[in-house]
């Protein structure tokens, strides 16, 4: 069986420290073949940099997906030579790729990143049509995916659920990211597609989805935007899902939510 650990949005320094303290022991405990993490908030909550990506790789993450903050740090070169993708439904000329075939041991794992459109600020291409385009690729027998994993980075639960039904039976897993709150709907369809509306996040658990709560409350009270403060100490949460996939059929046989908390002082 193929085992893949998918980690939700890693937020800032606390998130990176949490990876260091958590990923290694989980890889050993569950005999994981591949670790994937969403890097949309890796660098101080806004995008990803070369140094923060290196730190997460040293913590044990093998590959990275992204989201709407993919280019906030303005480090376009990362998408040429690092194990990271951006959403496939960005415009065609956007730096980087929206999917990748990751090889681990004897397995070929197709990882796809997509952005939702409901309640999102930018006008992305249609993720439904884009997935049809990607899956229409005629993969050679020697490069046939043992698993197909989709990170759909979206705000609306309805859009994620509709997308799950749209690709049901065609992919191994549809894993939601972006809202930072782990949902209680982890499931596997009759056709073997795993789903969760949102995996959750890795970072401060005592504030507002990774950001200092005082600033967020102040914004709600005043309707004025303030510069955000990112906590670096306190209780941190680690949210992920562990997938067990039959590589012969690319169907998921088990999905397990792994959520842990640690203290960072």
Catalytic residues: 69
Half-sphere exposure of 76 (CA within 13 A, CB side): 3
Q: C-alpha distances in angstroms, 214 versus 218, 220, 229?
A: 6, 10, 9
What is the SS3 assignment for 151-202?
Answer: EEECCCHHHHHHHHHHHCCCCCEEEEECCCCCCCCCEECCCCCEEECCCCEE
* DSSP H helix total and E strand total for the chain: 6, 13
Q: How far is CA 81 from CA 77, 93, 94, 96, 104, in A?
A: 7, 17, 15, 9, 18
């Amino acid at each position: 069986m193929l085992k893949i650990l998918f980690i939700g949005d890693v937020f800032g320094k606390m998130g990176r420290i949490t990876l260091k303290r958590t990923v290694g022991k989980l890889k050993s405990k569950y005999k994981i073949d591949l670790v994937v993490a969403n890097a949309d908030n890796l660098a101080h909550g806004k995008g990803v940099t070369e140094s923060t990506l290196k730190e997460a790789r040293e913590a044990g993450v093998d590959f990275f997906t992204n989201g709407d903050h993919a280019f906030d740090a303005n480090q376009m070169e990362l998408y040429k030579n690092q194990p990271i993708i951006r959403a496939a439904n960005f415009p065609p000329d956007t730096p980087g790729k929206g999917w990748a075939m990751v090889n681990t041991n004897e397995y070929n794992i197709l990882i796809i990143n997509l952005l939702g459109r409901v309640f999102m600020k930018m006008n992305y291409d249609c993720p439904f049509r884009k997935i049809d385009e990607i899956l229409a690729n005629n993969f050679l027998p020697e490069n046939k995916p043992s698993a197909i994993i989709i990170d759909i980075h979206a705000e609306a639960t309805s859009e994620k659920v509709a997308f799950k039904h749209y690709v049901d039976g065609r992919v191994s897993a549809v894993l939601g990211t972006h809202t930072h709150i782990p949902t209680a709907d982890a499931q596997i369809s009759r056709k073997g597609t795993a789903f969760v509306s949102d995996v959750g996040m890795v970072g401060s658990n005592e504030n507002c989805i990774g950001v200092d709560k005082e600033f967020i409350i102040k914004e709600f009270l005043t309707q004025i935007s303030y510069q955000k403060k990112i906590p670096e100490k306190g209780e941190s949460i680690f949210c992920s899902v562990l997938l067990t996939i039959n590589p012969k059929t690319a169907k998921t046989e088990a999905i397990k939510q792994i959520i842990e908390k640690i203290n960072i002082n």
